[in-house]
Amino acid sequence: MTLTMTREAATEGGGSPRSHRPRLITKRNIPYLLILPALLGFVSFKAYPILAALYISLTTGAGAARTFVGLDNYVRLVNDPLFWTSLWNTALILVVQVPIMLLLALVLALGLNSPLLRLRGLWRLGVFMPSLTGLVAYGVMFSVILSKDSGLLNWLLGIFGIDAIDWLGSPFWARIAVVIALTWHYTGYNAVIYLAGLQSIPKELYEAAMVDGAGAARRFWSITVPQLRPILLLTVVLSTIGTLQLFDEPFVLTGGGPDNSTLTISLYLYENGFRYFDFGYAAAIAYALTLIVAGFGLLQLKLTGGKK
């Protein structure tokens, strides 16, 4: 391969003696030139920080006072009750939120895909909009909705005779509030992915099934679900990874409180890095989180049969 290419390049140059000078652009290196910008970006903004963070996780202090401490930060991590609290909170939110959100997204996608729906573009836009909302707008909006005394949600509940809920002040409800906000933010995103999946299912399958006399439920379970399987898997993995790194919602809504009931791993990482200036420890948390994310990803691929 290499030889052929070189010869080609040489012949291409024609008889001129100057063609022996190495040229910047040859057929062989064009692909590399094309990916060069992305490669440079990757090396400087991803690979380097990732490696630097690994080193930093083995140190303590900052700047001139940085000293190498080996695995001290990781030992500290294992013995840190707050880290385990944050892990537990994250797991709890994950287990409750991801299934609810994905189910809801699927229902929305089925609705949006229905030929009976009018103004489809508008509905789709509406469903997708929340995932475009900026962090600050989102935080302000939810603190207004969830306010204990003057919040929209408590007002609504009041109409049904339900007592005001202290959404952000009680450990239990604060977790629910995070789940609600998270679901609001990302359901549309997943619904759009499902919608794309639904639209790629060949119509012939449904027609054939109808000819065979299959009802709507039967068509859903025997055609839609199996056909969507790779997409379902994708969203489960993406959502799991996303929720494991949960930060925005507790950051803007609860600050991790009350009494650390919504402290997530990423929030704890942030606090250690930017509140406590404990960069080494923060980097160690980041690596622990990476391991957990990787572990979960692999496990899910295995369990759900990542094979083609």
Contacting other proteins (CB under 8 A), which of 179, 231, 269, 284?
269
Torsion sign over Cα 36, 38, 40, 42: negative
Closest CA to 170 of 194, 196, 150, 146: 146
| DSSP-assigned states of every residue in 14-75 | TT-GGGGS--S--TTTHHHHHHHHHHHHHIIIIIHHHHHHHHHTTEES-GGG-EE-TTHHHH
Q: What angle do CA 196, 198, 202 make, to 5 degrees?
A: 115
Binding track over 41-80 against other proteins, x by CB under 8 A: ----xx-xxx-xx-xx----xxxxx----------x--xx
Q: Which is nearer to other proteins, 34 or 40 (CB)?
A: 40
Torsion sign over Cα 253, 259, 264, 268: positive
According to DSSP, residue 263 is labeled -
Contacting other proteins (CB under 8 A), which of 97, 109, 178, 248?
248
Please state the closest distance from residue 65 (CB atom) to other proteins, in A: 5
Q: Which is nearer to other proteins, 36 or 47 (CB)?
A: 47
Please state the closest distance from residue 143 (CB atom) to other proteins, in A: 6
Q: Is 103 in the site for other proteins (CB under 8 A)?
A: no
Q: How far is CA 213 from CA 205, 216, 268, in A?
A: 12, 10, 55
Q: Is 260 in the site for other proteins (CB under 8 A)?
A: yes
Structure tokens at 132: 């475009």
Contacting other proteins (CB under 8 A), which of 86, 183, 189, 232?
189
Q: How far is CA 229 from CA 92, 236, 274, 279, in A?
A: 25, 10, 41, 41
Q: Within 121-180, which residues bind other proteins (CB under 8 A)?
A: 135, 143-144, 147-150, 166, 168-170, 174
Q: Which is nearer to other proteins, 220 or 296 (CB)?
A: 296
> For residue 124, what are the contacts with CB-CB under 8 A and spacing of at least 6?
112, 192, 195
Q: Is 292 in the site for other proteins (CB under 8 A)?
A: no
Query: How many residues sit close enough to other proteins to count as binding (CB under 8 A)?
Result: 63
Which residues are near other proteins by CB under 8 A?
45-46, 48-50, 52-53, 55-56, 61-65, 76, 79-82, 135, 143-144, 147-150, 166, 168-170, 174, 186, 189-190, 238-239, 241-243, 245-248, 254-255, 257-260, 266, 269-271, 273-277, 279, 282-283, 286, 289
